[in-house]
């Protein structure tokens, strides 16, 4: 189905029919703009047929987020295991969808992009932890990067090591990554924009503020804050230790669906 020939209409109508047949339907696209646009365009139709609750539109990373957290918050569980906390506020996740005992169908918009840019790659969620003193460590390493200031040598880093002795390996690894990222920051070329007061990366023609490139993003917040483009509050929120919560294969996520269908304007065959 070529550009302008009705991929969105095809998916919207198909999603409606499948939902009427008692399927749980997920429509996934690479673009936040296209996904949001199509949902708003077809919402009146879904509501008219009483299936709005059975159809979900999202980007592919958002879909991975929903599926990996469908039973529990993976970030919260990571925080609880590593940081020994029961504070539900440690998770920044949106409300998790309830598990529905119905067959699930995935509809891929622009399936060629999925196979080109997502299939074979992983979704890598992280828990962000901002203990006292970590923002000062980022700032000092950034300011002293020309002199190769080591994060571990800073007083704030030593205090964290004393405060959290059980997390010493995690902290030392984070300090090393922070130091190395600052040293090679100028080599990082991913295009970004300040969008809505946040750092957003240009991906597939849209600006995504949910994507983060580890500590490169943290130092980008410091850079743009110095230019007056980012507030102190937002910058500080993004100066945090990144704790990996696992790697989830996009290819394997397809196995969670009973059927996967898709449309594309460029592929003539998948063989």
How do the pLDDT tens digits run along the chain, 271 residues long? 555 667 899 999 999 999 999 999 999 998 888 899 999 999 999 999 999 999 999 999 999 999 988 888 888 888 888 775 544 444 444 444 444 468 999 999 989 899 988 999 999 999 999 999 999 999 999 999 999 999 999 999 999 999 999 999 999 999 999 999 999 999 999 999 999 999 999 887 778 888 899 999 999 999 999 999 999 999 999 999 999 999 999 999 999 999 999 988 765 555 5
Backbone angles phi, psi at 23, to 5 degrees: -100, 150
Backbone angles phi, psi at 189, to 5 degrees: -115, 10
Angle between the N-to-C axes of helices 214-226 and 168-183, in degrees from 0 to 180, rounded to the nearest 10: 60
**Interatomic CA distance for residues 102 and 22, integer angstroms:** 7
Residue 95 has, within 13 A of its CA and on its CB side, a CA count of 3
First to last CA, the chain: 18
In 3D space, the residue among 136, 231, 142, 208 whose CA is nearest the CA of residue 178 turns out to be: 142
**Interatomic CA distance for residues 58 and 34, integer angstroms:** 9
Tokens of residue 249, six digits: 């294969």
**Interatomic CA distance for residues 58 and 67, integer angstroms:** 12
In 3D space, the residue among 184, 217, 183 whose CA is nearest the CA of residue 200 turns out to be: 217
The pLDDT of residue 92 is: 43
Beta bridge partners of 107: 27, 261
- C-alpha distances in angstroms, 40 versus 3, 108, 176? 20, 17, 45
The pLDDT of residue 270 is: 55
Cβ atoms of 82 and 168 closer than 8 Å: no
Angle between the N-to-C axes of helices 134-143 and 155-163, in degrees from 0 to 180, rounded to the nearest 10: 150
- 38 SS3 class: helix
**Interatomic CA distance for residues 102 and 69, integer angstroms:** 18
The pLDDT of residue 211 is: 86
Cβ atoms of 93 and 69 closer than 8 Å: yes
Burial of residue 25 (CB within 10 Å: 0-12, 13-18, 19+) is: buried
The pLDDT of residue 80 is: 81
Beta bridge partners of 56: 26
List of residues 6+ apart from 108 with CB closer than 8 A: 28, 29, 114, 260, 261, 262, 263
The pLDDT of residue 81 is: 80
Measure the CA angle with vertex 14, ends 100 and 36; round to 5°. 75
């Amino acid at each position: 189905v070529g550009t302008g020939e009705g991929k969105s209409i095809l998916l919207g109508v198909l999603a409606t029919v499948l939902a009427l047949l008692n399927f749980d339907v997920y429509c996934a696209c690479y673009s936040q703009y296209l996904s949001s646009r199509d949902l708003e365009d077809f919402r009146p139709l879904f509501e008219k047929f009483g299936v709005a609750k059975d159809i979900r539109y999202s980007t592919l990373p958002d879909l991975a987020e929903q599926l990996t957290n469908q039973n529990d918050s993976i970030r919260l569980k990571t925080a609880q295991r590593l940081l020994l906390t029961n504070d539900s506020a440690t998770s920044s996740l949106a409300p998790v969808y309830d598990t529905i005992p119905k067959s699930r169908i995935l509809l891929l918009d622009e399936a060629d992009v999925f196979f080109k840019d997502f299939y074979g790659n992983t979704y890598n969620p992280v828990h962000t932890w901002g203990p006292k003193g970590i923002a000062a460590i980022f700032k000092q390493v950034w300011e002293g990067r020309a002199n190769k200031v080591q994060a571990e040598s800073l007083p704030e880093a030593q205090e964290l090591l004393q405060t959290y002795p059980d997390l010493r390996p995690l902290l030392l690894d984070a300090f090393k990554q922070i130091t190395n990222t600052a040293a090679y920051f100028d080599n990082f070329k991913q295009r970004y924009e300040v969008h809505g007061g946040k750092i957003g990366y240009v991906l597939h023609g849209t600006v995504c503020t949910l994507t983060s490139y580890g500590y490169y993003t943290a130092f980008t917040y410091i850079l743009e804050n110095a230019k007056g483009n980012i507030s102190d509050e937002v910058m500080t929120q993004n100066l945090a230790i990144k704790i990996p919560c696992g790697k989830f294969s996009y290819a394997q996520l397809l196995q969670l669906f009973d059927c996967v269908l898709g449309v594309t304007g460029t592929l003539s065959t998948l063989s």
